[in-house]
Amino acid sequence: MPKIYVFSVPSGGSGKTTLSGNGAYYSAEKKQEKTLLMDVDQSCSLTDRMIKTLADKNGVNYMELLNSIDDDTYTVKAIFDGGNPNPLVISENLDFIAGYNGLTGMAEKVKSELSWKAFDLWLRTYEKELSVYDRIIIDTHNDEVNNIFLTSAYMIADKVIVVLPVDDTVYKKINQIEERVSLMKRLERDTVKAEVVVVGNKFSANPSTKSGEKAFQMDFIKKMVDQPQKYIGYFDTRKFFASFKTTGQTLVEQEKKKHGQSQSDKAFFKRTWKLYDKIFDMEEGK
């Protein structure tokens, strides 16, 4: 079965979508691993980005393509209806299951009919079809951790990646996720195996003392030293990340444009790939 990685934190603007999307491209294109990317964020921002990419690739109108995506066929709605969605083919090694903006309306149905085992039932029922993938990467919504869709994702995860931006108020969310996963492990001992790790995001090369960035980043780095298995690294704030949402250019694509890259840019990509290797349990240099 594929390894499953869930990017999560109950806070908007942390960068989950950017990190999960770029991570999927890294896995599929740089590591040549068969990868399934899923959007379980009801805001569907990852879906918006991926459909634009498909439209550009195939020379079709974005809105026409988006409107042609049938919810019952290509989105996570099919999973919560007890079925198996048809993934959209992004590239040779990357498939995508689109998000569904009506998830909130399905919450009571999922609770009563599938409970938090919705994803687990999907994996077990369609084990043969899903066995073609090396890893499944899931982008989640900003809801609180008791949300049924988040809980379902945590249940099947090998690793929950808490994305922590430079924001003191988000620290307490880590404990909430850990407590939720611990509860699930007690109730579903033979099924839940998720490891919770934390990655920092949007770390500045020259943090401002006035804004509190410097103190936050220093504290995070200390946690990396004291708890290296939990606080596994951080991503720098760079223009390359922003391009994913604005133009759709992935980090993998931008690294290939070597002409004119500064030494600091090259060092950035090296650090970024090393952290993705840690997140996805990959062998460095593979």
What pLDDT does 260 receive?
65
157 — pLDDT class (breaks 50, 70, 90): very high
- Residue 261 pLDDT: 80
Whether 284 has a pLDDT exceeding 70, the answer reads no
Model confidence pLDDT, tens digit, residues 39-51: 999 899 999 999 9
Q: What is the structure's pLDDT at 177? A: 92
Among residues of the chain, what percentage have pLDDT more than 70?
A: 98
Q: If you average pLDDT over residues 21-36, what whole number do you get? A: 97
Reply yes or no on whether the pLDDT at 189 is more than 80: no
- Does residue 285 carry a pLDDT above 60? no
Q: Which residue has the tokens 């931006």?
A: 165
Position 136 scores a pLDDT of: 98
**Angle, nearest 10°, between helix axes 16-25 and 239-246?**
90
Would the pLDDT of 278 be above 80? yes
Structure tokens at 68: 């042609």
CA distance 226 to 231: 9
In whole numbers, what is the pLDDT of the chain averaged over residues? 91
Domains in the chain: ranges and CATH: 3-279 (3.40.50.300)
Residue 49 neighbours by CB under 8 Å, 6+ apart:
17, 21, 244, 245, 248
pLDDT category of residue 220 using cuts at 50, 70 and 90: very high
What pLDDT is recorded for position 32?
96
Least confident of 29-33, 143-147, 180-184, 269-273: 143-147
Give me the pLDDT at residue 173, please.
Answer: 85
In 10 A of CB 134, how many CB atoms? Answer: 17
Nearest-angstrom CA–CA distance, 137 and 130? 13
Task: Tell me the percentage of the chain whose pLDDT exceeds 90.
Answer: 68
Q: How far is CA 149 from CA 12, 117, 273, in A?
A: 16, 10, 29
Which residue in the block uniquely carries the two structure tokens 């492990």?
A: 185
Is the pLDDT confidence value at 31 over 80? Answer: yes
CB 135 within 8 A of CB 5: yes
Residue 75 has a pLDDT of 96
Residue 24 has pLDDT above 90, yes or no: yes
Handedness of CA 251, 37, 278, 32 (dihedral sign): negative
Higher pLDDT, 231 or 264: 231
Q: Return the structure tokens found at 191.
A: 């099924």
Residue 286 has pLDDT above 70, yes or no: no
Average pLDDT over residues 153-157: 95
The number of beta carbons lying within 10 Å of the beta carbon of residue 154 is: 25
pTM above 0.75, yes or no: yes
The closest of 181, 186, 211, 185 to 198, measured between CA atoms, is: 181
- Give the pLDDT score at 84: 96
pLDDT tens digits for range 90-140: 999 999 999 999 998 999 989 898 888 999 999 999 999 999 999 999 999
